Amino acid sequence: MKNITELTQNLTQLYAALKDGTIDVKVAAEMNNTAGKIINVQKVQLEYAMLRKEAPSIKFLEK
């Protein structure tokens, strides 16, 4: 997983797998939780840049 597009794709696959029942709910919950943490880290980075009135180039967010 290199960037946010891949993360979104992975999460979409996870959602599909969860609906199909091909993945354990506990595992899915942990993965989803981790994805949430990654998103929050990016959010903090963006907010920090916004407060400093900067336009940073964050590799993870580049497509």
Partner 1 sequence: MPYKDVALHREAINAARRKRYAELRAAGVPPPKPQTESAKEAANRRAKAWRAANPDKVRAYKKRKYWEDPDKARLKQRERVDKQAAKARSRAYYRSNREYVTQREAAYYRANPEVNRAANRRCAERLTDGYIHKLDKTLPPELYEVKRVQLLIKRQIKEMT
Nearer of residues 2 and 25 to partner 1, judged by Cβ: 25
The residues that touch partner 1, with contacts defined as CB under 8 A, are 4, 7-8, 11-12, 14-15, 18-19, 25, 28-29, 32, 35-36, 39, 42-43, 46-47, 50, 61
Quickly tell me which residue has 């993360």 as its tokens. Answer: 7
What one-letter code names the amino acid at 32? Answer: N
* CB 17 to partner 1: min, Å: 10
* CB 28 to partner 1: min, Å: 6
